[in-house]
Chain A
Amino acid sequence: DTEVTQTPKHLVMGMTNKKSLKCEQHMGHRAMYWYKQKAKKPPELMFVYSYEKLSINESVPSRFSPECPNSSLLNLHLHALQPEDSALYLCASSQDPRESRAERHNEQFFGPGTRLTVL
C-alpha cells in the first residue's frame, strides 16, 4: 500500500468553528508532514512529525494544532481560522531521514489533500 489518504476532501467552515483534518498512511513511514498550498504556489511546510513527536513547527499560528496519535495517523485541528487560511492542505509521509536506510533523502508521498474554505 503506497497510498496516503486524507479526509475530508472538502471542508467549509466558519471562523468560530472547530474542525479536524485527518491523514493516514500504512507504508511504515515514521515521518509525517502537513503542508499548506495556495493556488498557483508551491506547497509550504507547516509541521513535521518524526516518530510521533513534533520535530518542526514552521512558526504556524496556534489556531492550527497538529496531533500524531500513532505512527499511521496525523491530525490537524483547526480553530478560529481566518478567511486567508483557505487553501489546500496536504499531508505527506516518508521514511524518517534519521533511518540509516533513508540516507538523508526522503521521498515524500502526498495525500490528495483537503480543500479548506473559511467563510
Chain B
Amino acid sequence: QQPVQSPQAVILREGEDAVINCSSSKALYSVHWYRQKHGEAPVFLMILLKGGEQKGHEKISASFNEKKQQSSLYLTASQLSYSGTYFCGTVPLSGGSNYKLTFGKGTLLTVNP
C-alpha cells in the first residue's frame, strides 16, 4: 500500500526549514528517503530501520516513529541545492518483499534565493 506524503509541495526561501512527512497504514520495517532533481535519477538520502530511530546527513535529518507508522524528513537552513522532489519508500514489517520499495507520491520542494 502506497505511503502518504505531506505536504505535496512546499516553497522556501534559502535558510528556512521544512518538514516532510510520510505515513503508512501498515506496520513498517524501514523507511527510505530519496531526492530527485528534475531530469535526474533519484538519489539515496537515508534509511531508517528501527522505530524511533533518527539519522542525519549534514543539515538533513529524519525520524521514524514506529507506533505512528510515520517518518519525517527535516531540512534545516535550506540551500538552493535542496530543491527537488523528495520520495519516501517503505518496506512493510510483514506481508511484503524485502526487494520492493513502495514509494509515496513525492513532495516537491522549491528553495528560492
Asked if A31 lies at the interface with its beta carbon under 8 angstroms from chain B, I say yes
Cβ of A104: which chain B residues have Cβ within 8 Å of it? 29-30, 91, 98
> Which positions in A face B, CB cutoff 8 Å?
31, 33, 40-43, 45, 48, 50, 55-56, 90, 97-98, 103-113
Closest to A6 in B: B41
Task: Give min CB distance, B32 to chain A, whole Å.
Answer: 7
Taking CB atoms, residues of chain B closer than 8 Å to A107 are: 32, 44, 47
Contact A41 B44 (CB under 8 A): no
Contacting pair B43 A110 (CB below 8 A): yes
Interface size for B (C-beta < 8 A) is 22
Counting CB contacts under 8 A, is B103 at the interface?
yes
**Once the chains bind, are A42 and B40 in contact (CB under 8 Å)?**
no
A90 contact set on B, CB distance < 8 A:
41-42
Q: Which residues of A contact B91 (CB under 8 A)?
A: 104-105
Q: How far, in Å, is A59 (CB) from chain B's closest CB?
A: 13
Cβ of B84 under 8 Å from chain A: no
| Residue B97 is within 8 A (CB to CB) of chain A in the complex | yes
Of chain A, the residue at the smallest CB distance from B5 is A42
Can you spell out 27 A-B residue pairs with CB atoms less than 8 angstroms apart? A31-B99, A40-B106, A41-B106, A42-B103, A42-B104, A42-B105, A43-B42, A43-B87, A43-B103, A45-B100, A48-B97, A48-B99, A50-B99, A56-B100, A103-B49, A105-B30, A105-B49, A105-B91, A106-B99, A106-B101, A108-B32, A108-B44, A109-B44, A110-B41, A110-B43, A112-B40, A112-B41
